[in-house]
Structure 1
Amino acid sequence: MMQLLSMDYDIDNIIIVIKYVAFYLATYFTLKHTILHSKVKGKLPPRPFLSFPIIGHLYLFKRPLYRSLAHLAVKYGPVLYLKMGARPVLLLSSPEAVEECLVKSDVFVDRPRLLPGKHGGNNYTNMAWSPYGDHWKNLRRIAAVEILSPQRLQILSGIRAEVAQSFICRMIKDITENDGIVEMKSAIFGLTLDNMMRMLIGKSNYVEASGGMEASRRFQKTMEGSFRVSGVNNIEDFLPILKYFKVFLGSPEEFMKKLIKEKNTFMEGLMLEHRELEREGNLSDGRKRAMIHVLLSLQKEDPHYYSDEMIGSLILALFQGGTDTSAATVEWVLSLLLNNPKVLKKAQEEIDTNIGNTRLVEESDKNNLPYLQCIINETLRMYPTGPLGLPHESRDDCYVGGYHVPKGSMLIYNIWAVHNDPNIWDDPRNFKPERFSGLEKTTLGYNFMPFGTGKRICPGEHLANKMIWLAVAILVQCFDWERTSNDLIDMEETGGLSLVKLVPLRVKCCPRPCMMNVLSEL
């Protein structure tokens, strides 16, 4: 700077020149991608005016991304066309736009080719990341008919009840050993993991798994790592030039490769164990009912299609969808109840009145506990664990809301923005379970879509609903809850793409006196 000044440069003039250059570049790229393009194809959706070379609109994004994108929608509208680095992105933030693109149209049925699909998606071949076509349809059919059908979920309802009872016993043990203080994040994850282990593999994470709690913690870390790099969370997907600077900047790819290696080793061990037990004739009834047994049986009929890689990828996708996300939702529910003790008391009174204190609540009791379901729905509205969902990609040119959207555009729909829109929901950031009273999901339409929507809606929605409901029901029925201090529970989010608590929930709890007779018999 001193050199510039010594050559009679005026700093104000330098700044003016820089501004003119920036304005020229911004104008050039704006004209290139809007006015010039519209002469050929039509008018593009609205966008923030200033789009820089190379980075596009990335400079506007802050953590958490779903909140940052929601702010853009408030300012510019519910249908936006952004440049996220090298990728054109259609951002939807209204139920009408979501319905138009994902329900009424077949254009946005593919997935973009992102790093999580390459590494975590078995090179874009698993159910989550596979392109729309025969292979994806077959995977979806297997999940819907062979694994997650209502009939199979009903067959496995006894397993979920056993897992719930085992969880209660572990909770009581933790309460006794830790003077009534329990760290709920790990406890709830243990519940969801044990449930998925029994349903998918046919064995308990606690009784049979070597290492017990340590094995649970290792797998939890692996799942959490997967969520950190899932979806639209990797800058290298939008600025491919960064891959040439891996040596200096690092890369999420190495982390992804490590995660997938750990998960594949986990699955290979489970399949080997299952085959050995079957060869020895020692498969228990639980293992014969397990989903891995169904898939390995299909492998005998068509070993080429039902490869170990395909089976492992499908089982891992179910593990990921049925453990960390469900556990996070239950943790949010409990946090909200602790900050709203009147709601907690009302939920306990509903269970006491309609179920009583002589038995544990069961899945079949769900219709008799509507307020409990309202609490869960309100939590999913405020804190959807997948606030942006997985991205889609247009397979052809199309029109959305009268605007032209080019082929190959990535679509992001902001579930969090819809769920927290004050034009849709009254006082959206206040916890009001009563707002769902008497409302069916069909009535809510696309105002409420915690599991996504359209052809690629989460296939595990019904299983997740059952797991979350039963976990919340037994926690409310069996225990009294208090905060560890007079302060409200910290509800801050991590800032990543999956909506989880920044500070894990620690609580005081004890068995409810009115349930002691039932609990003493477990």
Structure 2
Amino acid sequence: MNLELIYVYRLVASSLAGTTVIWSMIKRHKKSRALPPGPCGVPFLGCLPWMNKGAPHHWYLSLAARYGDIFSLKLGSNLVVCISSPKLLREFFNRFDSTGRPRTPLNNLLGGYGIVLSEGELWKRQRQFLHDKFRALGVKLWTYQRFEKYIIAEIEEMILVIDNKNGQSLDPVIVLGRHIHNVICQLMMSFRFEEDDRKFTSFNELISRGMKLFGSIHIGEYLSFYMKLPGKKAVLKEISNNLKNISKFHEEHLIKRVEERSRSSTHHEPEDLLDFYIQQMHKDTDDGEMQSVLKDKDKVRQVVQVMNDLFSAGMETSRTAIVWIIIIMLREPEVANRVRTELAEVAGTGQLITLEHRLQLPYLEAVIFETLRRTSVVPLGTSHMNTAQWKINEYIIPPGTTIVPLINKINMDPRYFPEPTKFIPERFLLNGKAHIPEYFIPFGVGRRVCLGDQLARMELFLFFANLMNHYDFMLPEGDEMPALEGSFGTIHAPHPYRIIFKKIQN
């Protein structure tokens, strides 16, 4: 082949390659014009180099301030659309095609099991099943059904434990941890941990460690090669072992309960979620059906992962919210005095507060809502994935896009909450009653709204009200006032601090 022909071939090949690159850039540009506005990234990495790894919610906040209520960006190869409009979130998260979950390393580990990361028909059936059984077990804020007694029992024991410490400084995370955990235990399997139980200590450490580990691989959601980097495989292995150890605890209880029920000749009405699941598993076997609430999944693994999900989400968020409320009471003494005055007038200082008092304590409940707003325990909400194309205003959102609700942006938006850095409980009072405006969505919104929101509200009200009606909160001498800026993993948690619970005399 002569040199001229080789030159021609090379010229044609170069032209074709150049044309292909230019055409792909044109297509990408045309496609991006249909997307919401947003920052430009770099090839392969997108905007990841600029993300604040320790506090991504602050980074998203700065982007929302620049681009508005809806913006798009690339994180690695993933298209992400962030929404901070309560109206848009309510509209689009109520659609069934909003209920997908982004593909992440954690999703791969869980294999589509559980309730938090499952999707499609399995998620739909599981959610309805759990919703119905929660109500059957009395997890209902507005009525005083049987589940309230479990929370009250834990509060009474917590008060005894605190009193026995004789004014020592305590870690509120530890003080609250076992009792809030026991509430979930009672709901799931009619079981509770006693004080100084080593199993609880190790189990609690597993959950806390797991939450931190999940946050540490956040970047792996966007870069497929990230988990192959030095040290990341070890993290993934630790997460896998962490999940196995948590699952082992729940699986042992499941197997034990199945054996107990199979040995008994007496018919048992379901006492907890575990009983309801066992009942459903037997129904599947008797009917010979696979299209049940558990579908074609490994039934034991599915039940165990649901338990994992409920424990992890239910304990960490409620405990963290109450620990934040204590900080707010330290920082806002006038608010704390008004809460205690309201409690004294309604029930009397030192008396046990129950859900029957709730409607008579509007200011206290408003303080809870304002704390959730000001601290944003779950600042980014849970990411969704649209399973069909969306048209939002003039923008086109292709299917498979990760949708991130910016809860903290809404909470700190002066359009909804004037002077957002100030703590003003009156925002949540209307005509003398506690009021939740439609733009306040601390538990999420839409079809995947937090399944345990009713339980969380019961816990927050009862634990906070009773702590306030029995104790003054004091910092140990020389300790600094805890900050309102905490650490970020999967939730926004305050930095560790200690507190003295000083008994209020009647």
Bin the TM-score by the shorter chain: 0.7 to 0.9
Partners of 2:346 and 2:22 lie apart in 1 by 62
Deviation at 1:288, TM superposition (A): 5.3
2:471 corresponds to:
479
Q: Answer whether contact 1:231 1:389 (CA < 8 A) is retained.
A: no
Q: For 2:256, give the aligned amino acid.
A: E
Call closer, same or farther: CA 1:432–1:441 in 2, change over 3 Å.
Answer: closer
Alignment of 1:461-472 (within 5 A): 461-472=453-464
Partners of 2:265 and 2:459 lie apart in 1 by 29
Alignment of 1:290-309 (within 5 A): 290-303=272-285, 306=294, 307-309=299-301
2:7 corresponds to:
none
Deviation at 1:294, TM superposition (A): 2.0
Q: Is residue 104 of structure 2 the alignment partner of residue 108 of structure 1?
A: no
2:252 corresponds to:
269
Partners of 2:235 and 2:22 lie apart in 1 by 31
Counterpart secondary structure, 2:356: helix
Partners of 1:289 and 1:359 lie apart in 2 by 30
Call closer, same or farther: CA 1:343–1:288 in 2, change over 3 Å.
Answer: same
Give deviations 1:169-203, integer Å, cap 9, x for gaps: 11112x22xx4311111111112111111222112
RMSD: 2.8
1:257 corresponds to:
240
Give deviations 1:351-389, integer Å, cap 9, x for gaps: 110112473111221111111101100111112322112
Q: Answer whether contact 1:54 1:86 (CA < 8 A) is retained.
A: yes
Deviation at 1:505, TM superposition (A): 2.9
Q: Answer whether contact 1:494 1:501 (CA < 8 A) is retained.
A: yes
Deviation at 1:100, TM superposition (A): 3.6
Q: For 1:141, give the aligned amino acid.
A: Q
Q: Answer whether contact 2:475 2:499 (CA < 8 A) is retained.
A: yes
Counterpart secondary structure, 2:477: coil
Counterpart secondary structure, 1:404: strand
Q: Answer whether contact 1:387 1:497 (CA < 8 A) is retained.
A: no
Call closer, same or farther: CA 1:324–1:293 in 2, change over 3 Å.
Answer: same
Partners of 2:210 and 2:406 lie apart in 1 by 20
* Farther-moved stretch of structure 1 (94-103 vs 386-395): 94-103
1:14 corresponds to:
none
Scaled by the length of structure 1, the TM-score of the pair is 0.83
Alignment of 1:91-490 (within 5 A): 91-103=82-94, 105-119=95-109, 122-132=110-120, 134-148=121-135, 151-153=138-140, 154-173=145-164, 175-176=165-166, 179-206=167-194, 212-230=196-214, 234-246=218-230, 249-250=232-233, 252-278=235-261, 281=264, 289-303=271-285, 306=294, 307-357=299-349, 359-438=351-430, 444-445=437-438, 447-485=439-477, 487-490=480-483
Q: Answer whether contact 2:250 2:304 (CA < 8 A) is retained.
A: yes
Call closer, same or farther: CA 1:412–1:47 in 2, change over 3 Å.
Answer: same
Q: Answer whether contact 1:398 1:404 (CA < 8 A) is retained.
A: yes
Counterpart secondary structure, 1:107: helix
* Farther-moved stretch of structure 1 (249-258 vs 383-392): 249-258
Q: Answer whether contact 2:350 2:505 (CA < 8 A) is retained.
A: no
Call closer, same or farther: CA 1:321–1:300 in 2, change over 3 Å.
Answer: same
Counterpart secondary structure, 1:481: strand
Call closer, same or farther: CA 1:106–1:137 in 2, change over 3 Å.
Answer: closer
Q: Answer whether contact 2:366 2:434 (CA < 8 A) is retained.
A: no
Q: Answer whether contact 2:104 2:220 (CA < 8 A) is retained.
A: no
Deviation at 1:453, TM superposition (A): 0.5
Q: For 2:189, give the aligned amino acid.
A: I
Deviation at 1:96, TM superposition (A): 3.0
Partners of 1:249 and 1:31 lie apart in 2 by 37
Call closer, same or farther: CA 1:368–1:427 in 2, change over 3 Å.
Answer: same
Q: For 2:445, give the aligned amino acid.
A: T
Question: Would you identify which runs of 4 or more consecutive aligned residues in structure 1 move more than 6 Å?
Answer: 28-31, 439-442
Partners of 1:232 and 1:149 lie apart in 2 by 38
Call closer, same or farther: CA 1:78–1:273 in 2, change over 3 Å.
Answer: same
Q: Is residue 86 of structure 2 the alignment partner of residue 85 of structure 1?
A: no
Call closer, same or farther: CA 1:506–1:110 in 2, change over 3 Å.
Answer: same
Call closer, same or farther: CA 1:457–1:230 in 2, change over 3 Å.
Answer: farther
The unaligned stretches of length 5 or more in structure 1 are 1-27, 515-522
Counterpart secondary structure, 1:83: strand
Counterpart secondary structure, 1:489: coil
Partners of 1:29 and 1:57 lie apart in 2 by 21
Q: Answer whether contact 1:374 1:433 (CA < 8 A) is retained.
A: yes
Q: For 2:340, give the aligned amino acid.
A: Q
Deviation at 1:160, TM superposition (A): 1.4
Q: For 1:198, give the aligned amino acid.
A: Q
Q: Is residue 498 of structure 2 the alignment partner of residue 501 of structure 1?
A: no
Partners of 1:74 and 1:361 lie apart in 2 by 42
Partners of 2:390 and 2:22 lie apart in 1 by 21
Partners of 2:316 and 2:499 lie apart in 1 by 20
Partners of 2:158 and 2:21 lie apart in 1 by 58
Q: Answer whether contact 1:80 1:91 (CA < 8 A) is retained.
A: yes
Give deviations 1:26-81, integer Å, cap 9, x for gaps: xx999956x534646962210113x1111111122103111110101101222111
* Farther-moved stretch of structure 1 (301-310 vs 458-467): 301-310
Call closer, same or farther: CA 1:190–1:282 in 2, change over 3 Å.
Answer: farther
Call closer, same or farther: CA 1:333–1:395 in 2, change over 3 Å.
Answer: same
Deviation at 1:271, TM superposition (A): 1.5
2:4 corresponds to:
none
Q: For 2:187, give the aligned amino acid.
A: M
The unaligned stretches of length 5 or more in structure 2 are 1-19
Give deviations 1:90-148, integer Å, cap 9, x for gaps: 11122233234213x443221112122222xx31132111222x221110111110134
Call closer, same or farther: CA 1:318–1:443 in 2, change over 3 Å.
Answer: closer
Partners of 1:433 and 1:45 lie apart in 2 by 35
Partners of 1:289 and 1:201 lie apart in 2 by 8
Call closer, same or farther: CA 1:418–1:30 in 2, change over 3 Å.
Answer: farther
Partners of 2:163 and 2:80 lie apart in 1 by 49
Deviation at 1:222, TM superposition (A): 1.9
2:51 corresponds to:
61
Partners of 1:401 and 1:226 lie apart in 2 by 39
Task: Give % identity.
Answer: 20
1:3 corresponds to:
none
Scaled by the length of structure 2, the TM-score of the pair is 0.86
Give deviations 1:488-522, integer Å, cap 9, x for gaps: 223331132311012x23111222111xxxxxxxx
